[in-house]
Homo-oligomer: A and B are copies of this chain.
Amino acid sequence: MNDSDEAAFLKAYDPEAFPRPSLAVDVALVTAHEARLKVLMLQREAQPFRGRWSLPGGFVALDESLDDAARRVLRDKGGLDGVYLEQLYTFGAPDRDPRTRVISVAYFALVDHARLVAAVESSSDRSAEPIAVASLDVPWPDEVPPAGAGPIALRRDDGEALPIAFDHADVLAVLVQRLRGKLDYAALGFQLLPDRFTLRQLQDVHEVVLARPLNKDSFRRRVLASGLVAATGERETDVVHRPAELYRFVRPSGV
């Protein structure tokens, strides 16, 4: 390739030559608590879908990468930094936003429940936008929804169902599939727990995500054999029974 050719070409290039839709990122901030998967949702105060609940999102700036945009959304709307973040899927149906063509690159972030609650509280101080941590009602048991499975529903702690804006129910459906599919093969479960956790807590998280009970013995064996956890020598406190050992997540070598 000839560099001066390329420089001349770039000078003459017209960036308006192709149609350009708007580009947004939406972030599902996920946690697990009390046998439920939960996500942070915001109630829309503007049209479209005013009054319905949407994932936090934002438009991508021209000089920022998609990952950076997702991290910015997480920081601005969730008050969280340094959490596990992964690109999920890109949604681009022409009519998914009635305003104009908007393509949304969906991300998901995983955080332990206590940290999410703290972040939501400090975030509510800064902004009046209604915020909720809603439970997912997943109407199918396996990784992949069978044909004809209904959409995912959201329910607040007080029991009220939250109507979902845009195609965000589809985003949540893909999210649940990704979580269930990757949980055993990647270090996702740990991301939903605090730094120190018991194996029982980790099993609870897995059971919440997979929506089925797991065998205690074989779960312990598998986790300990994976080499992804290390005993700390500490034990939990303030429990009414024999306290369990606390473990911590060990990043797999070379990654």
Contacts and interface: CB of A to CB of B under 8 A. Distances in A.
A46 B1 CA distance: 10
A101 interface: yes
Interface string A120-151: 00000000000000000000000010110000
Interface residues of A, number: 48
A84 interface: no
A146 B13 CA distance: 39
B63 A92 contact: no
B10 A48 contact: yes
Interface in A83-103: 87, 89-90, 92-94, 98-101, 103
Contact of A22 (B18, B59, B89): B18
A99 B22 contact: no
Contacts of A62: 19, 21, 94, 101
A24 to B, nearest CB: 8
Nearest to A18: B59
A233 interface: no
Copy count, this protein chain: 2
A64 interface: yes
A105 interface: yes
Contacts of A181: 185
A9 B48 contact: yes
Interface string A140-178: 000010110000000000000000000000000000000
A223 interface: no
Contacts of A50: 1-2, 5-6
A211 to B, nearest CB: 18
Contacts of A48: 6, 9-10
